[in-house]
Amino acid sequence: MSETQSHDGPRTTTGRIPHGPFRPGDQVQLTDPKGRINTITLQPGKEYHSHKGAIPHDTIIGSPEGSVFRSTGGTEYLAFRPLLTDHTLRMPRGAAVVYPKDAAQIVAQADIFPGARVIEAGAGSGALSCFLLRAVGEHGLLSSYERRQDFADIARGNVERFFGGPHPAWRLTVGSLEHDLAETEIDRAVLDMLAPWECIDAVAEALIPGGMVCAYIATTTQMSRIVEDLRSHGAFAEPYAFETMLRSWHVDGLAVRPDHRMVGHTGFLVTARRPRHRPHRHRPDLRHPGQRPARRRARPRHRGIDHIPAPHRRVAPQPAETAEPRRRTHPRHRETPGPAPTTPPAGPPPAHPRHPPARHENRMGRLRKPSR
């Protein structure tokens, strides 16, 4: 976010001043020697109280960030302003939030840039909105859609608490993105919801050529559905699906090892770009420019009874003169023409070899006994 200089220090157009001495209204994280964190909002005349004694807010106001304060009980507290990662992990939640590791990937992989016009759904608790607003800056646009009024209220509270007031680039609409989307000429669309495929049509309409959609989903079945739907929609280049894992480390003298506990799973990300024209049938893989796209294996087509091995195929014996040679239609398999068909004998037509009267096929091409 750009800043303008004032006698008070660097100032943003929102109320939050992210550095300099502590001011009334600032959020402050007080960390005790055991690493326990308490977050307070500075108000002149108030005191922070714990079972380890009190600290008057007035002693904190005006002090440089990173100062240590001693409580009346003698415990020392280190004081910092919360980072955005602290804010998102500690914010009041309505819906589940996007974790910082995924928010960082969304900003990077969806290429959210200062001044970008971005749409987002759903706003949920506003965690991802904070990251996106930081990335687009005050001259960009983040238009967030949230179906639920109660979640929208929580999101607004969390965003305004972090930025110290309304953010000039933020528009929050209570409604469904697929029905209420008002923006056009959008650079990026970020979807974090149960059924992002419901928004594909609206997003495809709103994105500019070269724009990008990024979906954050929690399960493999959702990932499969959004990838297949983006592919078959026709307005997007080949989607890219991935996840990130973050493992923190314990580093203490010779004991240098991964931490025993980690967040094993949060979600998957799928990105896809919007070409100017509908991509050709063989779409270029835009993740790796210059490389040939991976060849997709053709789905095996259902071949009816033909794929059942002959010994299991009970075919009624045919009189030699009525058995026709097998015809292959594909030119590469075309054979020299067989003998001319003989005139059928008089009487009822013989049973077709694929449909013997004694047995029936079901839909899967398997044989079943006729019902009695």
Ligand X SMILES: C[S@@+](CC[C@H](N)C(=O)[O-])C[C@H]1O[C@@H](n2cnc3c(N)ncnc32)[C@H](O)[C@@H]1O
Q: Whole-angstrom Cα distance, residue 1 to residue 114?
A: 8
Q: Whole-angstrom Cα distance, residue 271 to residue 66?
A: 39
Q: How far is the CB of 173 from ligand X (least distance, A)?
A: 9
Q: Whole-angstrom Cα distance, residue 107 to residue 102?
A: 9
Q: Where are the alpha helices (DSSP H) in the chain?
A: 57-60, 84-90, 100-109, 127-136, 149-163, 177-180, 200-206, 220-233
59 versus 176: smaller Cβ distance to ligand X = 176
Q: How far is the CB of 130 from ligand X (least distance, A)?
A: 8
Q: How far is the CB of 146 from ligand X (least distance, A)?
A: 5
198 versus 285: smaller Cβ distance to ligand X = 198
18 versus 126: smaller Cβ distance to ligand X = 126
Q: How far is the CB of 106 from ligand X (least distance, A)?
A: 9
177 versus 270: smaller Cβ distance to ligand X = 177
Q: DSSP letters along 219-275, please? A: SHHHHHHHHHHHHHHSSS---EEE------EEEETTEEEE-S-------EEEEEE--
Residue for token pair 């326990």: 36
Token pair listed for 311 = 């010994």
Is residue 123 within 8 A of residue 173, CB to CB? The reply is no
Q: How far is the CB of 194 from ligand X (least distance, A)?
A: 6
Category of 213 on φ-ψ map: left (φ > 0), alpha (ψ -120 to 50) or beta: beta
93 versus 313: smaller Cβ distance to ligand X = 93
Residue for token pair 């500075």: 42
54 versus 96: smaller Cβ distance to ligand X = 96
67 versus 176: smaller Cβ distance to ligand X = 176
Q: Whole-angstrom Cα distance, residue 22 to residue 60?
A: 7
Q: How far is CA 114 from CA 54, 107, 264, 276, in A?
A: 43, 11, 32, 23
Q: What is the DSSP letter of 297?
A: P
Q: How far is the CB of 134 from ligand X (least distance, A)?
A: 13
Q: How far is the CB of 264 from ligand X (least distance, A)?
A: 18
Residues in contact with ligand X by CB under 6 A are 95-98, 121-122, 124-128, 145-148, 151, 176-178, 192-194, 198-199
